[in-house]
Structure 1
Amino acid sequence: MKVACVGGGPAGLYLSILLKLRDPSHDITVYERDPAGSTYGWGVTYWRGLLDKLHEHDPESARAIGDASVSWNHGVAHVGDSATRHPGDEGFGIGRHKLLDILADRARQLGVRLEFEHGITDADELADADLVVAADGVNSVLREQHTEHFGAGLKAGRNRYIWLGTTKVFDAFTFGFKETAHGWIWCYGYGYGQDHSTCVVECAPETWSGLGLDRANEADGLALLEKLFADLLDGHPLIGRSAADGAAQWLTFRTLTNQTWHHGNLVLLGDAAHTTHYSIGAGTTLALEDAIALADALRAHPELPAALTAYEERRKSELLSIQSAARYSAQWYENLPRYIRLPPAQMFALLGQRHSPLLPYVPPQLYYGIDRAAGRLEALRRFKRWLGPKLARTAQTRALASRTREKTEVSGK
């Protein structure tokens, strides 16, 4: 099969790797409009479950990704002058540039052609391909050629955010909440290498404009943010990526959905098909899982229409709970004043529960109390499940010993 993949991000590169591993005779080209090595995005996060899946499908690239990642198993929340630390699941961070280098090298090793500085703006340019993969992001040009067919829907979030880097290396996934005269502003920080971290800053639009961030160029805006988060940064700078005119790159998150994911031999992958709010740290994971699902479907179904339908159905089903969690997570931050005055331990606990569809409708302290009680009940259930077999074995042993004594006594008589 001749495959043209438009977009050289994680999804497109990993798909090309999987297809080549399963059938080296595939003719695969990845087209990327930007020069090699010009990516941005600082670091990306993922969790142990993804690394296990990568090891299952291509151990070589999985080992390289794991070796190039840093990990943490705690979360820290700084609220004003207070801080609380809690254990959590093992998380990983890797530089986006490093991740793409690993996947590109592996793809080349397997015989995939990588065409950098080669943008594709019309699927007709790829008329000789059996399969065209639109992995060209949320602003997918190929998807937009068939807008009515795909039924793309974009919903903008309320808050403003900016994606930054820093030389401060966080040893845990770090949240920092700062109160200003114009409202709260907060950041998410996580390491992705030995000397850098990602730092995403977010705030409500009235805080953004009240602080003058809507009017500040990047340099002035970074200076203000460094002052606000000075205690978290320990004197380290924030690093931006300004536009050509020096403007800061503040954004509002756009949630993308599509009614269908394929049209003829054109199929959507990664952010071209769907986006989930960055606060759940799942974007890269979902893109790579898309690639796995599409490769699986192409192997299981010899006919392309059936394969693309199976891929779409599987991924839409798998994404339902994740997209719901992302919506509620974004909503939690958009309603931060509802939770921020709680005692630090309670606030951090509800930060961890922000994916819950019940939380927005239950008073926070009541929800916290119910959650604590449920946690104690679950701990009791786990203890009973552990203790039950032991008690049963003890009872069996005692019953056996009793029957043995009875037989001995009868025999003795």
Structure 2
Amino acid sequence: MCVKVVCVGGGPAGLYLSILLKLQDPSHDITVHERNPEGSTYGWGVTYWRGLLDRLHAHDPESARAVEENSVRWRDGVAHVRDLTTRHSGDEGFGIGRHRLLEVLAARARALGVHLEFDHEVTGDDLPDADLVVAADGVRSALRTRHAGHFGTEIRAGRNHYVWLGTPQVFDAFTFAFVETDHGWIWAYGYGYGAEGSTCVIECAPETWTGLGLDRADEAEGLILLEKLFADVLDGHPLTARPTSAAPPAPWLTFRTLTNRTWSKDNLILLGDAAHTTHYSIGAGTTLALEDAIALAGALRAHADLPAALGAYERERKAALLPVQSAARYSARWYENLPRYLGLPPHEMFALLGQRHSPLLPYTPPRLYYRLDRAAGRLEPLRRAKRWLGPRVARTVQSRTLTTRR
């Protein structure tokens, strides 16, 4: 259907969409425009879970194998609270360097005949000449911003301050560290992405940020202070504010939750962070972007009419995003109310950390919620039996009711 496709943005979503479209029809003329030079991504590692990897294998086994081979994996989560530590096993997680992920996807796209144009910015003033233009240019999308009124763009700023950093310390588990200071709590999330190091996201409340002087510190001063606060979990390794000397410094930010009323305008469609964002604490950004690409490619394959395809894609993804966005809101809220949970024993706090997506948790005393959750866990065999018996009982009752009516 789409003879010529232009994708603005060479991140994971744009590259993976180009791969899928070429696999569907090698005759498609597909170009990806990326405003940065090749190899100059300014991120660290990204994280994802087994479910995404299974979907990648289903849609393009070759790129999926390359992604998996270049990823590290873990099953444990570790929480450090003051001088106490607790460790739990959970679902299999993966980390891969953002630079390496983009290399893998770019190589696969090129091999399939996709045109990659780096150091080429598309501002949105004049859309490229194409049957379909895909805005995959991130949360600050120039194409979306140019038509923000049409898309119904809304941005809500979060409360806490955070910064993305790297470290040569290679964490062997998904690591949380909570440190109490004279100005309140500050905490870090860390996960490995390769032998070269780990991503380390540091977050704190506004009053802690200003009380510690992080709002006034320059890059070097800020890193020295954070290295002291997290010295135990870093095990003597430094923190790094930029992955390469050419990269800009990592700024302190407040998370921006972005939504759009509609995702398409004529032949222009939003993809990934240009369409939506979810709080980083649920680790779903890259996964959702790649799932967008899978859904858009599927809709374009299923519908010969472009408006019908774009409408189907938007409906599918908005429905899929609802529970994820809800989980992200409650997760962000959990961290914004962190002192409510840090008085618990570490194993109880870590258990509620895993339950932070629950809409009931903010309204239930934490220790009561923990006891109820433990009790519910012991009743899991009964719940499974109920789920198995429920449909069968319903069918039996329905059958008897129909028989009686006859």
Q: Normalization by structure 2: what TM-score?
A: 0.92
Point out the more displaced range, 116-125 or 276-285.
Answer: 116-125
Report deviation, 1:383.
8.5
**Counterparts of 2:119 and 2:32, CA distance in 1:** 11
Q: Percent of pairs identical after alignment? A: 76
CA distance in 2, matches of 1:385, 1:318: 23
CA distance in 2, matches of 1:369, 1:165: 37
**Aligned-residue offset at 1:241:** 2.5
The structure 2 residue matched to 1:104, chosen from 106, 117, 121, is 106
Task: Note if 1:87 corresponds to 2:89.
Answer: yes
Cross-structure match for 1:359 = 361
Is the CA contact (8 Å cut-off) linking 1:217 and 1:246 kept in structure 2?
Answer: no
Q: Is 1:209–2:204 an aligned residue pair?
A: no
Which AA in structure 2 matches 1:254?
R
Q: Higher Cα Rg: structure 1 or 2? A: 1
C-alpha root-mean-square deviation of aligned residues, in Å?
1.7
Distance 1:247 1:92 in 2: 26
Partners of 1:148 and 1:130 in 2: how far apart? 23
Unaligned 5+ runs, structure 2? 389-406
1:274 matched to which residue of 2?
276
Give the structure 1 partner of residue 47 of structure 2: 45
Is this contact kept in 2: 1:156–1:255, CA < 8 A? Answer: yes
2:123 to 121, 124, 134: 121
Task: Give 2:6's aligned amino acid.
Answer: A
Q: Establish whether residue 13 from structure 1 lines up as the match of residue 50 from structure 2.
A: no
Aligned-residue offset at 1:246: 8.4
Following TM superposition, by how much is the alpha carbon of 1:123 offset from its aligned partner in structure 2, in angstroms? 5.6
SS at match of 1:231: helix
Quote the Cα distance in structure 1 between the aligned partners of 2:32 and 2:12.
11
Q: Deviations over 1:208-253 (max 9, x none)?
A: 0000000001111000000000000010010102999986510100
User: How many angstroms does 1:203 deviate by?
Assistant: 0.2
The alpha-carbon distance between structure 1 residues 229 and 316, as it changes in their structure 2 partners (threshold 3 A), is same
Residues 348-370 of structure 1 deviation map (CA, whole Å, 9 limit, x = unaligned): 00000000011001111111111
Verify the 8 A CA contact 1:218 1:246 in the aligned structure 2: no
Contact preservation (8 Å) 2:42, 2:247: no
Aligned to 1:237: 238
Letter of the 2:143 partner, please give it: L
Alignment correspondent of 2:168 = 167
Matched, 1:30 2:32: yes
Q: Is the Cα–Cα contact under 8 Å of residues 48 and 94 in structure 2 kept in the other structure?
A: yes
**Equivalent position SS for 1:21:** helix
Q: After TM superposition, give the deviation of residue 195 of structure 1 in Å.
A: 2.5
How many residues get paired? Answer: 385
Paired residue type of 2:293: A
What amino acid is the match of 2:169? K
1:175-254 aligned at under 5 Å gives the runs: 175-241=176-242, 249-254=251-256
Distance change (3 Å), C-alpha of 1:162 and 1:342: same
Q: 2:241 touches 2:249 (CA, 8 Å); kept in 1? A: no
Deviation at 1:372, TM superposition (A): 0.7
1:124 shift after superposition: 2.4
CA shift, 1:385, in A, is 9.5
What is the aligned partner in structure 1 of residue 320 from structure 2? 318
- Give 1:150 shift: 0.3
Matched position secondary structure for 2:237: coil
Q: CA deviation at 1:144?
A: 1.1
CA contact (8 A) 2:166 2:242 kept: no
SS state at 2:126 partner: helix
Q: Which runs of 5+ in 1 are unaligned?
A: 387-413
Q: Give the counterpart letter for 2:265 in structure 1.
A: H
Q: What is the CA deviation profile of residues 153-202 of structure 1, one whole-angstrom value per residue up to 9, with x for unaligned ones?
A: 00000000000000000000000000000000000000000130000000
